[in-house]
């Protein structure tokens, strides 16, 4: 039986805006299994980003529980959540979120800096990961000197720097042309298959979701009945 690494149990997320309540997630139940490639597919406003925030320990549910490796994260304080994010989860964002003044290598090494790892180790591992994603010759280039696809590769390398068990990819090809997008999805597939990473990809693109082993269809903050949007 596959191990459940992330479990959402009757998760609700309700945002209060002035006097209005906006329900982003409605009693969501979802298991993510160790080593799988899962796509969460939904239209804009379906709750995809909220799920990413929940799984990534970036936000806490209004009701319900979220278990990461059996631990209920809703009981943890912000320092504990930050430690979990730093060690267990790697994030890949649509907008890359690189620091323009830093080189590719420095951007990749940044999460290790927050973990107190020495400079030589950071440098060596950053170079190795940039080589892994095909950027061996671009380690010293700043993000403004890189193409969109190269920036996303840097973001993928950064997501791997602390050897996370789980990779969360938020619309990872959203700002890229189709050819570059194919290259990025192939890197994610390689991470999943060769390095046995658990990958959760958030997307509105049915074609992109088709690369995953399993697709969860989301609509109005809940898993759609019949698996269709």
The two structure tokens encoding residue 220: 């109005």
Query: pLDDT of 16-25, one tens digit each?
Result: 888 899 999 9
pLDDT at 227 over 90: no
pLDDT for residue 225: 63
Q: Where are the domains of the chain?
A: 36-58+86-227
Query: pLDDT of 203-212, one tens digit each?
Result: 999 999 999 9
Helix (H, G, I), strand (E, B) or coil at 7: strand
Work out the average pLDDT over 142-150.
93
pLDDT for residue 17: 83
pLDDT at 226 over 80: no
Distance CA 37, CA 181 (A): 17
Ramachandran area for residue 23 (φ above 0: left; ψ -120 to 50: alpha; else beta): beta
Distance CA 45, CA 43 (A): 6
Res. 78 pLDDT band, cuts 50 70 90: confident
* CATH 3.40.50.300 describes domain 36-58+86-227: yes
Residue of 81, 157, 167, 92 whose CA lies nearest to 122: 157
pLDDT for residue 113: 80
Residue of 40, 43, 80, 44 whose CA lies nearest to 60: 80
Residue of 53, 48, 11, 14 whose CA lies nearest to 31: 11
Contact indicator for 126, 177 with CB cutoff of 8 Å: no
Angle subtended at Cα 133 by Cα 111 and Cα 176, rounded to the nearest 5 degrees: 95
Q: pTM for this structure? A: 0.89
Res. 229 pLDDT band, cuts 50 70 90: very low
Query: pLDDT of 108-141, one tens digit each?
Result: 999 888 777 888 999 999 999 999 999 999 999 9
pLDDT at 1 over 80: no
């Amino acid at each position: 039986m596959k191990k459940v690494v992330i479990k959402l149990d009757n998760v609700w997320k309700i945002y209060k805006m002035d006097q209005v309540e906006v329900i982003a997630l409605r009693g969501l139940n979802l298991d993510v299994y160790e080593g799988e490639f899962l796509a969460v597919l939904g239209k804009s406003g379906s709750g995809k980003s909220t799920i990413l925030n929940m799984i990534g320990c970036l936000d806490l549910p209004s009701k319900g529980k979220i278990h990461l490796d059996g631990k209920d994260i809703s009981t943890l304080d912000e320092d504990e959540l930050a430690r979990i994010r730093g060690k267990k989860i790697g994030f890949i964002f649509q907008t890359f979120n690189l620091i323009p003044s830093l080189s590719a290598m420095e951007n990749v090494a940044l999460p290790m800096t927050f973990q107190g790892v020495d400079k030589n180790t950071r440098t060596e591992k950053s170079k190795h990961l940039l080589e892994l994603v095909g950027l061996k010759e671009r380690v010293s280039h700043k993000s403004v000197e890189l193409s969109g696809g190269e920036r996303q590769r840097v973001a993928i390398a950064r997501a791997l720097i602390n050897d996370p068990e789980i990779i969360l990819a938020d619309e990872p090809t959203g700002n890229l042309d189709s050819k570059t997008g194919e290259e990025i999805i192939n890197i994610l597939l390689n991470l999943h298959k060769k390095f046995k990473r658990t990958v959760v990809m958030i997307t509105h693109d049915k074609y992109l979701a088709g690369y995953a082993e399993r697709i969860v269809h989301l609509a109005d903050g809940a898993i759609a009945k019949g698996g269709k949007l």
